[in-house]
Structure 1
């Protein structure tokens, strides 16, 4: 298979992967009343990722530089993760303003001083992965130590959190080494990395869809369960 064919296939796979994010978004919207507050916040993640992808594609189609738009990916997703787990873990709420301020300050330093807008904000992406996985682990610890008749893998936010950990753990490696390909203008290298990202996106989309579907089978949301 020639390089041009591989690039074309990888491009279609990326479009399909991001397009699949519309599925959990639509499932969440169709069962909004059954979603707890944390799940409602989390439902914004696939919608945000899809919107940003469309904007980046449109910007590239117009012949404009679009890497600066990618900087908003880690920033927006991180803020949504913080909001989700602050709702699920009430004892964290007092730390949220400090956490958000610190994260935004670090992201601004990365984008405007350390790496600039001509390449991906890999330090911010690494910070997003660390922060997201840490929040998930805190939630796991709470859920494991909370007596419940519901199995762990039948709790919607647990299922979604597994997807978050797998996605962040995989993509942090992809994006940390992607800048070397950007600076070298290595199209094949970038394509290979983003193909891995596409697979991880499909996995995230599937687990989010399953999580929101699980929530739809429960009673309508009326209290504050963080599940």
Structure 2
């Protein structure tokens, strides 16, 4: 296949795959919404993530349709997701709870510095995205360690937050390199490279949506006493 042919069909395929991936986030968001009152507080906070992603994607599509600059909207993605992760896992990690405000304040201050000074609003906030991946994965691993050491043993496939955490780690670990390299493709106007990156991101989103759906569905079917988390 020639480079011209690849450049012609790959962006279209990537676009369809991106729409499919983000629409799939409506499934875990819908499951959580239907059973909202039965979810524990940490699970509710994590359920905000797919809904937030879907709303932000819709807004970005609308701005594109009206020919407006929308990269500043993309800056909100890492910020909103990280805030949800910090709030959710601080409820699950007693050692972290006293530091939640400091962690949130420090992250938001760095995100503002990155968007307004370090990288600006004309390209992706890759430093903030890298920090999101570091914090998100660290929080999940701390929770995994706590589950292993302190909580009553149960089947891991019946622990919703372990399932959700696994999806978060897979998504963040897979996408951090994508977003760190995306500014290079943006600056060189490499449509094929951007399409490949977005296709990989879309597949990782489908994985995240599947893990979230399983976690939220399971969470509303297990007694809160068995979950042993704070409401």
Q: Is the 8 A contact 1:36 1:224 kept in 2?
A: no
Q: Report the equivalent of 1:173.
A: 177
Of the three residues 17, 21, 40, the one matched with 2:21 is 17
The answer as to 2:172 corresponding to 1:190 is: no
Give the total of aligned pairs: 227
Q: Report the equivalent of 1:139.
A: 143
Q: Structure 1 residues 116 and 20 mapped into 2: Cα distance closer, same or farther (>3 Å)?
A: same
CA–CA distance in 2 between the matches of 1:49 and 1:193?
Answer: 18
Displacement, 1:41?
A: 0.6
Under a length normalisation based on structure 2, what TM-score does the superposition of the two structures give?
0.94
Corresponding residue SS for 2:96: helix
Deviations for 1:20-74, whole angstroms, at most 9, x for unmatched residues? 0000000111122321110011000000000000001101110011111100000
Of the three residues 122, 129, 134, the one matched with 2:126 is 122
Under a length normalisation based on structure 1, what TM-score does the superposition of the two structures give?
0.95
Of the three residues 4, 16, 25, the one matched with 2:8 is 4
Q: Is the 8 A contact 1:34 1:221 kept in 2?
A: no
Displacement, 1:221?
A: 7.6
CA–CA distance in 1 between the matches of 2:225 and 2:51?
Answer: 21
Runs of 4+ in 1 over 4 A off after TM superposition: 220-224
Q: Report the equivalent of 1:160.
A: 164
Displacement, 1:224?
A: 6.0
Q: Structure 1 residues 68 and 147 mapped into 2: Cα distance closer, same or farther (>3 Å)?
A: closer
Q: Report the equivalent of 1:199.
A: 203
CA RMSD of aligned residues (A): 1.7
CA–CA distance in 2 between the matches of 1:100 and 1:71?
Answer: 16
CA–CA distance in 2 between the matches of 1:226 and 1:20?
Answer: 29
Displacement, 1:226?
A: 5.2
